[in-house]
Structure 1
Amino acid sequence: MIRLSRTLSSGWFAAVGATALISVLMPAEAAHAVQLTCGQTVTTGVVLDADLLNCPGDGLVVGSGGITIDLNGHIVDGVGLGIGIRNDGFGDVTITNSSSTPAPVQEFDHGVNLTAGTADNIVEELTIQNNEFSGIELNGANNNRVRDNLIDRQAQRGVAITGGSSENVIVDNTITTNQGEGVFVQNSVNNRLEGNQITGSGDTGLVLEGSSGNTLLTNTVGNSSDGAIVLQLGSNDNLVQGNAFAQNADAGLTVSDSTGNRILSNALQGSGDSGIVLQSSHGSTVTGNDVSGNPGGIELSYSDNNLIRSNIANDTTGDGISLSHSLNNVLELNQANRNSSRGIYIDGEAASGAGNQLIRNTANANLGDGIHVAKATHTIQGNTARDNDSWGIFADLGNIDGGSNVAGNNAESAQCTGVVCIP
């Protein structure tokens, strides 16, 4: 037996013929065909010659490592039970479609399921649709590649990564119109989700729950019925970078009860709530993001020791950046301009040495104050606040004037209170 490559020669297909069988990939002189049946355990490389229809349970079951299952443009179809293609622990298996004709895996509980111990598999070029629980589920599976698939119209999740799955790469898939989450990652670490188009989810577009060390890179998440991306319940030390979010019904990115995440250079527009929300989340880096055009820009509550730097929080219908009951955060070099309320708003009293630091931010042309610090003891240094419809900078008694604050042409003639501003 030899393994099937992704690109098969035209001679191979000519030799196979158009029979209602699967072809077993053997050395050329020994190739032969066997009858195709639902639930078949596949132990050699195969190329499908016909559709597999109305399977009462599983469609195909992987029974050996080091093989390729090529759907060759044919349907694997169930009746709402079982698994379309199941692998219970065999390594180095490729599940692919070498034909230009789509190869749907449909109407099962799960379209493709890789369970505990399954490693080094490739799942690619499939159309996985109309399944009950998930299009593709990785449960305790490690170091697999899921790429270039269309995963749409599941009754629940598009892709589920659960049970301690790690080192998997989910790349360049179109994950659309699934009624639950587009991608759901639970209790799994060090996975990489890159370049996926996740749209039209009936729930959140992408969720990490209790999952750490994952990388979310250059995904597009749009038109979800809830938020775009959620990191929650101890999802720590993840990287969320270069993603684009638009027209989601809730916040663009919500981080709750999680620490040490890096949120870098994302574009989050058109959300139903704030662009980025941190709730009881600490020690994260939020830099270089554009959260303009949302109901709020960046919002922190009960979140400490975060770095909020060089973000653009303009043209929101609320506050550009707001902190509530959050301590020891650094807000530096952010833009918070032309917002319908305040540019930057800080609420919540801090003990001496535990206040937030507002350094070299720009808060211009807002309909409320440029910068409003409602409680003490926070440091306000080197900020610019011009052309606001109320105060340039309003700081309650007890805050620390770090100097070099600039204000001009604000509606309040004194320009600033609680700190000294230069024109």
Structure 2
Amino acid sequence: MSFIAIGAPPAQSAGPGCGAVVTKSTTLQRNLTNCPGDGLVIGADNLTLDLGGHTIDGTAVPATAGIRLAGHHDVTVRRGTLQEFGNGVLLDAADGNALVRLTVARSIGRGVQLQNGSDGNRLEFDVSSDNGSSGFVLLASDRNVITHAAGSGNAFSGLQGFGASGNRVVGGTFTANKTGIGLEEGSNGNLVTGNVLSGNREPAVGIDGNDNVVRGNRADHNGWGIIFGGDRNQIVANVVTGTLGCSPDDCGTGIETPGGADNLVALNLVTGTADQGIRLREFEADGGPPTIGNVIRGNVVRDAGSDGIVLQDKTNEVTGHGTVKDNLVANNLVTGSGHDGIAVNRPANTVSGNIALRNRAFGIEAVNGVIDGGGNLAFGNGDPRQCLRIACHRR
């Protein structure tokens, strides 16, 4: 009689452990728990790391990353959770990669950070919440596309960019952060569209740069709505409702700029703001730019807490007036404001074709030297004169 020895089946690989360098396409087979340093490190181009729905968990050590991707391209990281690292996902000088359906939570610093020229990456359906700083950060990184992101409960911004240009932020949800979306320090040519922003303590969207487009977003019950500075920005077809204010004598406006030139504010619906609906002003005495050649056209402003639309609501008590001129306020509908419907407090600006009704004070109030472009209509306002220094037709 002969016997055939049957050995045990070969052991199945447990897959990479904490701190492993991934150099080929890999699917994670288990959770990684209490990683003392990085979770996983990408070490090659042209691969996919599929977390398989698993969680990579850190120990809240600064300068660690749940996924570290430095200097590599054509990498996809998808389907999993990173939690309790310094940064949840860190891309450093890494171009042309994809982060898909990742959930990042409770990072000491930032949830997902792209830095040092991490350009042309794609982020889709990612969630970043309850981080010690911002949910998503673009640091000197350009031409990235962030679609259907969700950033909530972060100590700073849901999504923040510094010197980040040509990026697209599309169809996201940003709630209960300090700022919803902030693009600052010379962030130019970005598109922010189709996002929902609510319950953020300060602005829903804050922009500091040139040639940005903020279009078709909805901002509900934030400290204020959209604040932008710079030149040639377009703030178009947004809905801003129920701003709350965030400190005495500040915030609470629907849309505003502290200075800039040739910007367009058009076709927005602004309702129920704690302070003004739309405001242009300047801070030249503090080193800011003048406010010149901007257009406020075709907006609907309802039930503003103060003026519906205002050009320069305050005067610097030390330096007096800065420059607010050659701006156009045209074809807007302003109703139910707590003070004036439209107030233009600097000469050499033009008012034409607006409708102002049922505002508490004047329909339109202007100072000497404001240009009457004609075609303004005002009725049912609190002051029986309806308009001051502007000719207004009545019904």
| TM-score normalized with structure 1 length | 0.82
Change (3 A) 1:216 1:18: farther
Q: 1:149 Cα shift?
A: 1.4
Amino acid at match of 2:67: I
Look up the match of 2:241.
269
2:11 is the counterpart of 1:37: no
Residue correspondence of structure 1 range 225-244 to structure 2 within 5 A: 225-232=201-208, 235-244=209-218
Look up the match of 1:55.
35
CA distance in 2 between counterparts of 1:327 and 1:292 reads 26
CA distance in 2 between counterparts of 1:316 and 1:194 reads 28
Counterpart selection for 1:193 from 148, 169, 182: 169
Look up the match of 1:407.
394
Write out per-residue CA displacement over residues 176-195 of structure 1, whole angstroms, 9 at most, x where no aligned residue. 11111111100011000000
Unpaired segments ≥5 residues, structure 1: 1-16, 23-35, 98-102, 396-400, 409-423
Q: 1:394 Cα shift?
A: 0.5
Determine helix, strand or coil for the equivalent of 1:366. coil
CA distance in 2 between counterparts of 1:380 and 1:294 reads 28
2:341 is the counterpart of 1:364: no
Q: 1:407 Cα shift?
A: 2.5
Amino acid at match of 1:42: V
Determine helix, strand or coil for the equivalent of 1:126. strand
Q: 1:87 Cα shift?
A: 0.6
Question: Is contact 2:296-2:330 (8 Å) kept?
Answer: yes
Look up the match of 2:221.
247
Residue correspondence of structure 1 range 137-176 to structure 2 within 5 A: 137-139=113-115, 140-163=117-140, 165-176=141-152
Look up the match of 1:84.
66
Determine helix, strand or coil for the equivalent of 1:336. strand
Amino acid at match of 2:162: Q
CA distance in 1 between counterparts of 2:83 and 2:13 reads 19
Look up the match of 1:215.
191
Amino acid at match of 1:262: Q
Q: Per residue, is there more strand in 1 or in 2?
A: 2
Q: 1:236 Cα shift?
A: 0.6
Q: 1:379 Cα shift?
A: 2.2
Counterpart selection for 1:288 from 267, 273, 287: 267
Look up the match of 1:131.
107
CA distance in 1 between counterparts of 2:232 and 2:329 reads 17
| TM-score normalized with structure 2 length | 0.87
The percent identity for this pair of structures is 31
CA distance in 2 between counterparts of 1:57 and 1:205 reads 30
CA distance in 2 between counterparts of 1:18 and 1:84 reads 27
Determine helix, strand or coil for the equivalent of 2:253. coil
Q: 1:19 Cα shift?
A: 5.9
Counterpart selection for 2:180 from 177, 180, 205: 205
Amino acid at match of 1:321: I
Write out per-residue CA displacement over residues 318-343 of structure 1, whole angstroms, 9 at most, x where no aligned residue. 11100015211111110111212110
Amino acid at match of 2:56: V
Change (3 A) 1:19 1:312: farther
CA distance in 2 between counterparts of 1:213 and 1:301 reads 23
Change (3 A) 1:18 1:176: farther
Residue correspondence of structure 1 range 411-422 to structure 2 within 5 A: none
Amino acid at match of 2:257: L
CA distance in 1 between counterparts of 2:123 and 2:108 reads 19
Determine helix, strand or coil for the equivalent of 1:363. strand
Aligned residues: 355
Question: Is contact 1:19-1:49 (8 Å) kept?
Answer: no
Question: Is contact 2:360-2:382 (8 Å) kept?
Answer: yes
Residue correspondence of structure 1 range 56-71 to structure 2 within 5 A: 56-71=36-51
Q: 1:20 Cα shift?
A: 7.1
RMSD of the alignment, in Å? 1.6
CA distance in 1 between counterparts of 2:13 and 2:50 reads 15
2:301 is the counterpart of 1:313: yes
CA distance in 2 between counterparts of 1:367 and 1:45 reads 66
CA distance in 1 between counterparts of 2:351 and 2:120 reads 43
CA distance in 2 between counterparts of 1:92 and 1:407 reads 64
Question: Is contact 2:48-2:75 (8 Å) kept?
Answer: yes
Change (3 A) 1:19 1:174: farther
Question: Is contact 2:344-2:370 (8 Å) kept?
Answer: no
Q: 1:53 Cα shift?
A: 1.1
Look up the match of 1:374.
367
Unpaired segments ≥5 residues, structure 2: 1-9, 245-251, 283-290, 313-322
CA distance in 2 between counterparts of 1:18 and 1:96 reads 27
